[in-house]
Amino acid sequence: MLNYDILNSMREIDSKETGMPYVETMTLDEKLAIGLKAAELRRAGDKEGATRLMKTAPLPPYLAKVIKDKVGLDVLLSTGWNMSEVEAEFGKEWLRN
């Protein structure tokens, strides 16, 4: 069972550290369903399918910031991850500059 209290506490801490509100474009249940299906695909030997499916879940904005800061925007954009929460939190321009 997913403990929403722990996840919400983690979001509050992340928001305090970044100074930005946590923005969610997909529910936790939707993200969990993606993760469970991807695990099922991986167990069945479809690692590429599992990876493609996982990339449909939004990349957490704090991870996008680290990737952009450490290795650059081009690398971040080339990962193929869903950037909806990144765009919602930082804006479209952040993904262009």
Query: Based on the structure, what is the number of domains in the chain?
Result: 1
pLDDT lower than 70: segments of the chain: 1-24
Residue 1: per-residue pLDDT:
44
Which residue in the block uniquely carries the two structure tokens 């983690």?
10
Residue 8: per-residue pLDDT:
53
Q: Find the DSSP H helices in 1-97.
A: 4-18, 28-43, 47-54, 61-71, 73-78, 84-90
Residue 24: per-residue pLDDT:
62
C-alpha dihedral, 32 to 88 to 81 to 33, nearest 10° = 10
- Main-chain phi, psi angles of 85, to 5 degrees: -75, -30
Domain that holds residue 8: 4-95
User: How far is residue 48's CA from residue 68's CA, in Å, rounded to a whole number?
Assistant: 24
Residue 44: per-residue pLDDT:
97
